[in-house]
Structure 1
Amino acid sequence: MIFTAIIAMTLVVFASRYLFLEPRLPIRLNPKAQRFLRYASPAVLTSIWAPIVFMPENSVWLSPHNPYLIAAMAAALIAWKTKNVLLTTLVSLGLFLLLKLS
């Protein structure tokens, strides 16, 4: 049952991406819809990382002892200053591991 659900979700996601990204298909969105869809990626990413960072123990944990929060703030600062994805990922991951293991 789970495998069937995964395959079905994969097909839905692939079909929705293919319809809008294949240049030979005659489907085009109007500018208003395109502008609206620009907010989809940040909204989905925020819905993924926010609970992990702010609620790692299934309750809100806003303290300097929260390694998820410290590493996320470091990642945001590094990304803002350097605009380097690899550097941001490696430094914030290293910081998180250092905080989590100590």
Structure 2
Amino acid sequence: MDSFGILLIYIALINIVGFASMGADKQYARSSRRRIPEKRLFALGWIGGALGVWIGMRVWRHKTKHRSFVVGIPLLLALNVAVVVCLLRLMA
């Protein structure tokens, strides 16, 4: 498998994990269970899963009143896109 394929699989998987984590945290909040720390949700965004976290915010209407998420996750998404674009240019 080439570098592009590995990058594509990584981005897909980390975004699925980010999306699922937002859904799980919403369920935990509804059932008064132990929550996923906000630091972990931001860490998922930082390592490439910001799109999944952002979509999860919208789908489950979770963390949408937290300014840190409303501003921070889109900024991380922009950073994720910039990094992927740079990596793709280096691979070309």
Does TM, normalized by the shorter one, top 0.5? no
Structure 1 or 2, whichever has the larger Rg, is 1
Higher normalized contact order (CA 8 Å, seq sep 6+, divided by chain length): 2
TM-score computed with the length of structure 1 as normaliser: 0.32
* Larger helix share, 1 or 2: 2
